Amino acid sequence: MKFAIGLLLLISVGLVGATALALIFGGPSRPPTLEGINAPFRALDDSDLPALSTYQARDGTPLAFRRYASSADTSHGSVVLLHGSAADSRSMHPLAKAFAAGYTAYTLDVRGHGSSGTRGDIAYVGQLEDDLEDFMQTIEPVAPCTLVGFSSGGGFALRVAGCQRQQLFSNYLLLSPFISQEASTYRADSGGWTRVGLPRYIAIMLLNRLGIDAFNHLPVVRYAVDESADLTPDYSYNLAQNYRPKADYRAALRTTNHPMRVLVGEDDQIFRAGQFATVFQNAGSDVAVDQLPDIDHIGLILDPDAIDAAVAAIQALNGQKAPAP
């Protein structure tokens, strides 16, 4: 009996020690700068970038967004754009300008990025859905309203489309969305864009299952950003878990009852473009997936041909003709 108790104590001490080591030393390392992602933004002309506005989230925090007024005589609806990982609303500027030819467009600094809250962290998993609902209720974008998400923002858009708040939007456009590290679209380390501190990630996940969330603010993933750029280089456990689909992404695809389309560049170096249609089909979804030739990951939001395809996709989702320029 004493031997068994002693063995259990020894195992417990060992588990506590291993967990402590994972929390302290198991964080993400810094990946080398990925030029294929960073370089295109250096040439981005944002001289006509709209000024930041703010709305108040339910916790009292002012969160930032940009508004692009429609240049059409009558707006055909509205578009809300979610940026990719590590970025902010500035990265969606060319796409938002194109949408504004016929729609009122909004680009968000999602909490944890840009001028919204503490960079790289949020208070709890689920806060981003609360923030998005607060935005929609405060700003009241004109209907029909499309949620457009790029990369991690596309994954979060899928998360929204598959939850009880899906009715906030008329339809959804996902641009090369992150789906899951278990999906066939995933490349190791997202093609060199990420480094995950797996020991720390697993330790925090296990602690959460025990009801311990005191370490959720520790960074668990780092991005291959240019360190001189004004970006968000790492995510805490809370932000990493929230700015993506839920673990059962197949359930999200089966649950959504709103129109959705997916665009991906054939030359995407972050995800496996040819696998998107298969992933959606295997989930029992009939969502249309269009591959754009000669377009890579960042090109999907910067290349003029890709931008034209995104505008056409929203027109199709809304059953509209192309608005006059």
* Other CB atoms within 10 Å distance of the CB of residue 288: 15
Provide the sign of the torsion angle of the four alpha carbons 96, 99, 102, 108, taken in this order: negative
User: Can you point out the beta strands (E) in the chain?
Assistant: 53-56, 62-68, 78-82, 104-108, 145-150, 171-175, 194-196, 219-223, 234-236, 260-265, 288-292
Domain containing residue 90: 34-44+62-319
Residue 301 counted as domain residue: yes
Residue 324 counted as domain residue: no
Q: Count structural domains, the chain.
A: 1
Global model pTM greater than 0.85: yes
The predicted structure's pLDDT at residue 31: 95
Quote the radius of gyration of the chain (alpha carbons, Å): 21
Residue 325 counted as domain residue: no
The predicted structure's pLDDT at residue 3: 44
Residue 10 counted as domain residue: no
Residue 160 counted as domain residue: yes
Nearest to 250 by CA among 225, 276, 222, 284: 284
Residue 183 counted as domain residue: yes
SS3 label, residue 162? coil
Q: Which residues of the chain have pLDDT under 70?
A: 1-15, 321-325
* Cβ–Cβ < 8 Å for 215, 207: yes
Taking CA atoms, 198 is separated from 24, 179, 222, 227, in Å, by 12, 18, 11, 22
Residue 245 CA to residue 219 CA, distance in Å, equals 19
* Cβ–Cβ < 8 Å for 59, 123: yes
Matching residue, tokens 């959705």 = 260
Burial class (CB in 10 A: 0-12, 13-18, 19+), 279: buried
Residue 111 counted as domain residue: yes
The predicted structure's pLDDT at residue 9: 43
Q: What is the CATH number of the domain that holds 283?
A: 3.40.50.1820
**Within a 13 Å sphere around the CA of 270, how many CA atoms are in the beta-carbon half?**
28
Matching residue, tokens 């063995």 = 7
**Torsions phi, psi of 279, nearest 5?**
-60, -45
